[in-house]
Structure 1
Amino acid sequence: MYLVLDNFGEGLCKHLNGHLVSALKATEVHTLIAGIALPNEASIALHEKLDFVKVGEFEKVGIKFDNF
C-alpha cells in the first residue's frame, strides 16, 4: 500500500494496514509479506507494530535516490 498524504504522521497508514491485517487474519491466509524500499524508518516501525518480522533483505535489486 502506498499513500501520498498531505497530513503525514496522523496514523492513516497504521489504521488502514491494521484493518487489512485483521481482515486477512480472519481468512485462511497463512503468511503476509511486506516489501519496504530502504531507507524508510517510518515504514519499518509501522510493520513492527503490526507484528511483521524481518526475515531477509534483498541487496542491490533496485535504485533509490541514485543509489543501489
Structure 2
Amino acid sequence: MSVVRWNFDKRHRCPACHAVAVDIGRPVSWRVYTCCRCAARFARWPRLAWLLPEAGIRCSEHRPA
C-alpha cells in the first residue's frame, strides 16, 4: 500500500477520507500513520516512508488493544 502526503493545515486528519486519524499525541513528521477509517497510510515525507517508523493507528477510539 502506498503512502500519501499528509494535509499541512490539518496533520491529524486523514488526507483520503478526512477522518481524525491522530488524536493520541501530536503528529510528528518522522512517522507513518494509518487511518482508522479507510486504512490509508500517510506521512510528512511519503517518499521516505520505507525509512520511517510505523506509528500505526493513533486514534483513541480504534487503536488496537
Which TM-score band (shorter chain)? under 0.3
Higher strand share: 2
Q: Which has the higher helix share?
A: 1
Whose relative contact order is higher, 1 or 2, with alpha carbons under 8 Å and at least 6 apart? Answer: 2
TM-score by length of 1: 0.24
